[in-house]
């Protein structure tokens, strides 16, 4: 298992800094023999550029190819598809962050749980009732229990015992805008983090937050991308202080969070400046207030943005990777990042605009591969106690890689 010691991830006593990726749809495509090979291609291509952690959905609630067709009723063939995803990750030595429910309507999300609640006789009026209604909390806990206790039909390993799984994510991008105080979401996080740990004390747990600052840290809200971000019921520092949460997560989307406009040199510079300050503020918080690693679990640029070009996406990659390395060099809390998202050719019908096709995005692939090489050297040089004050015989090679910024 990957573990957490202080502000670092470790594996067998060595640091485990992350260069990773998202591919949310793997279970759904694995459920069809005609598209299952795309899952293998994702892992092959990600492994080829040195990526070591992937993030994907362990949910699909009441939708097309649903995993959970109704509360506690599962499609075994889709569950076997998730088994396949985990087994393929294991084959390519890639660990997985598995997210357990969506905040958004895609793949069901909290809205589907509310529909199920109303179908069972409840009178729910808001999707945010997901966080407070006892019946819906029980529905969610039942799903968590089922996934964690699942025995993989390919490997015969129970999910909660499988080191292929890096961490459990409580929810993808939780928000509770009906309660800007954050109390409702905080209560849910506290209950569910403890619940996951009661079943599986071995794996790491994270919330799935985007990183917005809320009422507990008014001085930090100036780092939010807009004024609305402080009103969505999330609270980065307070939320991550909940017992059972092992590391913090942050998403980075300046192109959708900041007032939309055509990407130009001036706009791209402002986006990159935001990215740097956003990441730095969260690394500081993880070090000063949380004492835990922070993983930037989603970042990207959409090809649908007016004025999009691959050069800006490459600059975004470089910026995120440099900010991560700035922390890594000091043994700090910046533990890595996961690009949204890696796609193989032939999966264009699932593309939300953010897809990075590694086989044809040659510059992006080189940037990603270089970051993997840098982190691999960090991971191999020192024990977790090292703060890089030591002098290692391999530091010359490391310094050469770190100084090679432009490709």
List the catalytic residues.
173, 298
CB 169 within 8 A of CB 100: yes
DSSP, residue by residue, 373-386: HHHHHHHHH--TT-
Using alpha carbons, list the distances in angstroms from residue 331 to 21, 283, 325, 385, 390: 22, 11, 10, 9, 12
Q: Which residues contact 329 (CB under 8 A, 6 or more apart)?
A: 388, 402
Reduce the DSSP state of residue 340 to 3 states and report it: strand
CB 9 within 8 A of CB 15: yes
CB 44 within 8 A of CB 38: no
Beta bridge partners of 337: 19, 296
Distance CA 58, CA 97 (A): 9
Both tokens of 74, joined, read 């599962």
Please tell me what DSSP assigns to residue 290.
I
Both tokens of 368, joined, read 């990603």
DSSP, residue by residue, 15-27: E--EEEEE-TTHH
Say what the alpha-carbon torsion angle 280, 286, 287, 288 is, to the nearest 10 degrees. Answer: 100
- Residue 122 CB-half CA count within 13 A: 18
Distance CA 298, CA 171 (A): 14
Both tokens of 134, joined, read 């006892």
Residue 155, φ and ψ in degrees, nearest 5: -110, -15
Please tell me what DSSP assigns to residue 93.
T
Cβ count near 393 (within 10 Å) = 7
Name the region of 173 (left: φ>0; alpha: ψ -120 to 50; beta: rest).
left
The packing angle between helices 36-48 and 76-91, to 10°, is 20
CB 16 within 8 A of CB 9: yes
């Amino acid at each position: 298992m990957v573990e957490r010691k202080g502000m670092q991830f470790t594996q067998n006593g060595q640091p485990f800094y992350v260069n990773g990726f998202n591919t949310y749809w793997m279970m759904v495509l694995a459920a069809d023999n005609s598209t299952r090979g795309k899952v293998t291609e994702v892992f092959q291509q990600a492994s080829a550029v040195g990526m070591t952690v992937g993030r994907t959905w362990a949910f699909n609630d009441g939708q097309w190819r649903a995993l959970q067709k109704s509360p506690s009723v599962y499609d075994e063939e889709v569950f076997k598809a998730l088994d396949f995803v985990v087994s393929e990750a294991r084959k390519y030595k890639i660990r997985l962050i598995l997210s357990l429910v969506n905040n958004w309507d895609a793949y069901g999300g909290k809205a589907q749980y509310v529909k199920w609640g109303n179908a069972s006789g409840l009178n729910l009026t808001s999707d945010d009732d997901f966080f407070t209604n006892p019946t819906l909390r029980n529905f969610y806990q039942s799903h968590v229990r089922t996934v964690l206790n699942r025995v993989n039909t390919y490997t015969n390993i129970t999910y909660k015992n499988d080191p292929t799984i890096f961490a459990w994510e409580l929810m993808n991008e939780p928000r509770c805008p009906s309660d800007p105080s954050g109390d409702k979401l905080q209560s849910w996080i506290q209950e569910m983090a403890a619940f996951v740990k009661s079943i599986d004390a071995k794996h790491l747990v994270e919330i799935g937050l985007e990183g917005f600052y809320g009422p507990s840290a008014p001085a930090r809200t100036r780092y939010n991308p807009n004024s609305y971000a402080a009103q969505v019921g999330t609270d980065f520092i307070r939320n991550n202080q909940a017992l059972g949460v092992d590391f913090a997560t942050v998403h980075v989307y300046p192109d959708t969070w900041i007032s939309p406009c055509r990407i130009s040199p001036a706009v791209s510079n402002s986006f990159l400046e935001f990215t740097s300050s956003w990441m730095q503020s969260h690394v500081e918080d993880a070090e000063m207030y949380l004492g835990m690693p922070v993983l930037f679990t989603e970042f990207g640029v959409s090809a649908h943005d007016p004025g999009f070009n691959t050069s800006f996406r490459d600059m975004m990659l470089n910026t995120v990777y440099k900010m991560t390395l700035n922390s890594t060099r000091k043994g700090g809390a910046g533990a890595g990042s996961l690009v949204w998202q890696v796609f193989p050719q032939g999966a264009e019908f699932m593309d939300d605009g953010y897809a990075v096709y590694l086989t044809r995005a040659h510059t992006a692939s080189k940037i990603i591969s270089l970051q993997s090489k840098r982190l691999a050297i960090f991971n191999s040089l020192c024990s977790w106690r090292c703060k890089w004050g030591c002098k290692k015989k391999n530091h010359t090679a490391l310094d050469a890689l770190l100084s090679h910024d432009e490709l």
